[in-house]
């Protein structure tokens, strides 16, 4: 207490001499967190947020302030086809990933003996770059790829199938790339279900199938929703994979945006970008209102 | 009863094969002796690895990618760790705003980020320079550093820092002697993620690497457009091994951080 009085009377010079630094530290306390965060926030503003925002602004201020770029999209058949194609691809990929991912997640949690192997096989593609995995599907699905050679050898077909450069190739490769994003949140939700609930159900005479349908499946829904959200939103923005294995006939919104930038149609590219971003944000906002999804996303992110 | 048990196991086995097959096939093709892409290879050899190691272009791109990724690790880890520590203590409204800015690259489709950055960097003269790649990749890597450091921070007892302060340690001393050692696993995991993010990144690189700063993924992409010779399989295999080793480290560190 007496030190505090001393400081007030003798001022800063005396404080420094006596080595009492409490007031200095107190006055810095509210500012310090801001000082720590400031370098990163400034960096992100200069090199990311302002560049992206000023690019997006060209959808309304190129060459003058106008909403015409948005209005003209309603009659734009190329845009409407690409947009619906992108949504359709994302939907089918998400549905396929859910169908394939749920059993894997279930076995990851239910078969502890094999869990390390399953986890490794799920994480191996997860850690491999998207470029490499898309290239792998080019090797597999090509005219002389593994799939065609195997089918020819087995006598199922006598002409190589055209799979590469079709929408099917894009969907197969995208499911492969996004499957881990479905498995991990579902497994995380399944792991949190109290096992005594299933025991109680079977103790009361429920068949394994009824237990699964009435206990496990409903309780795993937050994980399913989180997985569906992740896969769908990521699928919306895919660029590399469709460009590599999907051919040029059925392009995605990302590919159309890149094309427009190559032709220096900045206003059109910016308008498409705003729509892509708005679609993603709308889906995320809708899903976050579902019970339990936010929590499942946060815990499975680790 | 046995059918009911064997059938699901077979189904899961098939799905797991679907997951592993492409990666295995690329690795096998990389050891092919054929001059063209064919599966199964007629014979095995290290031919495509020697093509890679003898090519100045491939090696230059590899060094550039490693160098850019290393710089991104330093920049993203430094800025991200400091910011994560700071943000945890900000008032709620500011904290939400700052987190939204920092985490948004995870949500904004990468093509939108890429053309936004290209739009501005072309004017700053950063297209075709390693500096441009480092700045852009740092923005993409930072969310991973901040989330991973955040997870570590959430696990430590705030009273430890308060105790150090009340015993007379300076805030900076407290950070280096108390906080940093406690969150080290989170910082290291974040650094590894930052490295992989930059090393594997292609979409931004397609726009801003120009002809002066061609990264490894960018050179693979260019090569794929003209030829599908097995050199890319060899390069892919090398990058798979590197990524898997690094992510394996991150996984083990993450486990230790959680324990």
Residues of chain B contacting residue A51, judged by C-beta atoms under 8 Å apart: 116-117, 119-121
Phi and psi angles of residue B44, each rounded to the nearest 5 degrees, phi first = -110, 150
Confidence of residue A8 (pLDDT cuts 50, 70, 90): very low
Helices (H), chain A: 2-18, 22-28, 32-44, 50-61, 68-71, 77-110, 115-127, 130-141, 146-153, 167-191, 195-203, 208-211, 217-219, 221-236, 240-245, 253-262, 266-288, 293-300
Query: Rounded to a whole number, what is the distance in Å from the CA of B46 to chain A's nearest CA?
Result: 19
- Torsion, Cα B1 B7 B12 B17, to 10 degrees, reads 140
Phi and psi, residue B32, nearest 5°: -70, 150
Out of A54, A55, A239, closest to residue B203 by CB: A239
| Gap from A29 CA to chain B (nearest CA, Å) | 9
Instruction: Determine the residue of chain B that is closest to A257 in CA distance.
Output: B111
- The residue of chain B with its CA nearest to that of A284 is B107
So what's the pLDDT on residue A300? Answer: 59
Residues A252, B109: contact at Cβ < 8 Å? Answer: no
CA distance B217 to chain A (A): 7
Q: Above 60 in pLDDT, residue A7? A: no
Q: Do A138 and B107 touch (CB under 8 A)?
A: no
Q: Which residues of A touch B115 (CB under 8 A)?
A: 55, 257-258, 261, 269, 273
Q: From the CA of A9, how many Å to the nearest CA of chain B?
A: 22
Chain A residues inside the 8 Å CB shell of B222: none
**How confident is the model over B110-159, as pLDDT tens digits?**
999 999 999 999 999 999 999 999 999 999 999 999 999 998 998 888 78
- Give kind and range of the element (H or E) at residue B9: helix B2-30
Residue A90, pLDDT > 60, answer yes
Q: CA of B82 to nearest chain A CA: how many angstroms apart?
A: 5
What mean pLDDT value characterizes chain A? 86
Alpha carbon distance B104, A56 (integer Å): 15
> How confident is the model over B63-72, as pLDDT tens digits?
999 999 999 9
More confident residue, A27 or B90: B90
* Whole-prediction pTM: 0.89
Out of A103, A137, A301, closest to residue B12 by CB: A103
Of the pLDDT bands very low, low, confident and very high (cuts 50, 70, 90), residue A1 is: very low
* Lowest-confidence region among A4-13, B88-97, B183-192, B228-237: A4-13
Summarised one tens digit per residue, pLDDT across range A15-44 is: 444 444 444 445 556 788 888 999 999 999
Q: What is the mean pLDDT of residues B38-47?
A: 82
Q: Which residue of A has its CA nearest to B234?
A: A132
Picking from A28, A36, A49, the nearest residue to B82 by CB comes out as A36
- Would you call B25 and A176 a contact, using CB atoms and an 8 Å cutoff? no
The Cα of B108 is separated from the nearest Cα of chain A by a number of Å equal to: 6
- From chain B, the residues in CB contact with A273 under 8 A are 109, 111-112, 115-116
| Chain A contact set for B232 (CB, 8 A) | 135
- Say how far apart CA B157 and CA B179 lie, in whole Å: 10
pLDDT at A10 over 50: no
Q: Using an 8 Å Cβ cutoff, are A177 and A135 in contact?
A: no
Token pair listed for B216: 């490894």
Neighboring chain B residues of A144 at a CB cutoff of 8 Å: 37-39
Chain B contacts of A119, Cβ < 8 Å? none
Which of B7, B9, B112 would best serve as a mutation to test chain A binding (most A beta carbons within 10 A)?
B112
pLDDT at A302 over 80: no
Q: Exposure pattern of B100-136 as b/e (b: 16+ CB <10 Å)?
A: ebbebbeebbbbbbbbbbbbbbeeeebbbbbebbbbb
Mean pLDDT of all residues in A191-217: 87
Chain A residues whose beta carbon lies within 8 Å of the beta carbon of residue B135:
43, 47
- What pLDDT digit, counting tens, does each position of A131-188 carry? 999 999 998 998 888 888 888 888 888 888 888 889 999 999 999 999 999 999 999 9
Distance to chain B for A252, nearest Cα, Å: 11
C-alpha span between A263 and A46 (Å, rounded): 26
Cα B140 to chain centroid distance, Å, stands at 9
- Nearest-by-CA chain B residue for A173: B22
Show the 3-state SS of A129-179: CHHHHHHHHHHHHCCCCHHHHHHHHCCCCCCCCCCCCCHHHHHHHHHHHHH
Buried b (16+ CB within 10 A) or exposed e, A204-238: eebeeeebeeebbeebbbbbbbbbbbbbbbbbbbb
Q: Write the CB contacts of A194 (distance below 8 Å, at least 6 apart in sequence).
A: none
* pLDDT averaged over every residue in chain B: 90
pLDDT tens digits, one per residue of B189-246: 999 999 999 999 999 999 999 888 999 999 999 988 877 678 899 999 999 999 888 8
ipTM (interface pTM): 0.91
H-type helices in B33-129, by residue range?
47-54, 56-87, 92-103, 110-124
């Amino acid at each position: 207490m007496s030190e505090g009085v001393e400081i007030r009377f003798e001022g800063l010079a005396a404080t420094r001499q006596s080595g009492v630094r409490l007031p200095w530290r107190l006055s810095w306390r509210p500012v310090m967190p801001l000082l720590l965060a400031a370098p990163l926030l400034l960096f992100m503003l200069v090199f990311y947020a302002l560049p992206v925002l000023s690019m997006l602004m060209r959808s309304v201020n190129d060459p003058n302030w106008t909403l015409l770029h948005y209005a003209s999209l309603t009659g734009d058949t190329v845009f409407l086809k690409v947009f619906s194609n992108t949504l359709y691809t994302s939907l089918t990929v998400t549905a396929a990933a859910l169908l394939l991912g749920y059993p894997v997640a279930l076995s990851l949690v239910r078969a502890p003996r094999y869990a390390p192997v399953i986890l490794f096989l799920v994480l191996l593609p997860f850690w491999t770059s998207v470029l490499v995995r898309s290239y792998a599907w080019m090797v597999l699905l090509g005219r002389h790829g593994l799939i065609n050679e195997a089918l020819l050898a087995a006598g199922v077909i006598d002409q190589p199938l055209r799979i590469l450069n079709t929408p099917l190739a894009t969907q197969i490769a995208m499911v492969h790339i996004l499957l881990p994003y479905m498995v991990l949140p579902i497994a995380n939700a399944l792991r949190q279900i109290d096992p005594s609930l299933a025991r109680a159900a079977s103790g009361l005479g429920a068949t394994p199938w009824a237990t699964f349908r009435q206990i496990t499946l409903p309780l795993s829904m937050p994980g399913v929703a989180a997985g569906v959200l992740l896969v769908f939103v990521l699928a919306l923005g895919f660029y590399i994979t469709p460009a590599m294995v999907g051919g040029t006939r059925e392009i995605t919104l990302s590919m159309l945006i890149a094309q427009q930038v190559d032709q220096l149609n900045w206003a059109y590219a910016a308008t498409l970008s705003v729509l892509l971003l708005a679609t993603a944000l709308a889906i995320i906002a809708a899903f976050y209102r579902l019970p339990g999804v936010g929590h499942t996303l946060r815990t499975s992110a680790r | 009863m046995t059918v009911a048990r064997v059938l699901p196991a077979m189904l899961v086995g098939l799905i797991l094969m679907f997951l592993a097959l492409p990666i295995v096939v690329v690795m096998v093709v990389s050891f092919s002796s054929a001059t063209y892409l064919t599966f199964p290879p007629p014979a095995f050899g290290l031919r495509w690895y020697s093509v890679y190691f003898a090519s100045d272009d491939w090696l230059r791109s590899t060094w550039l990618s490693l160098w850019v990724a290393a710089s991104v690790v330093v920049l993203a880890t430094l800025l991200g760790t400091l910011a994560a520590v700071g943000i945890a203590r900000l008032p709620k409204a500011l904290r939400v705003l700052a987190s939204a800015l920092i985490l948004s690259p995870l949500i904004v489709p990468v093509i939108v980020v890429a053309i936004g950055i290209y739009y501005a960097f072309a004017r700053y003269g950063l297209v075709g320079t390693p500096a441009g790649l480092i700045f852009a990749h740092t923005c993409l890597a930072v969310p991973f550093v901040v989330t991973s450091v955040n997870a570590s921070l959430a696990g430590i007892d705030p009273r430890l820092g308060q105790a150090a302060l009340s015993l007379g340690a300076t805030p900076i001393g407290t950070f280096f002697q108390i906080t940093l050692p406690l969150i080290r696993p989170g910082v290291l995991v974040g650094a590894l993620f930052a490295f992989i993010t930059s090393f594997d990144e292609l979409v931004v690189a397609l726009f801003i690497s120009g002809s002066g700063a061609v990264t490894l993924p960018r050179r693979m992409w260019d090569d794929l457009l003209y030829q599908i010779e097995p050199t890319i399989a060899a390069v892919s295999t090398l990058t798979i091994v590197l990524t898997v080793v690094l992510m394996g480290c991150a996984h083990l560190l993450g486990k230790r951080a959680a324990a």
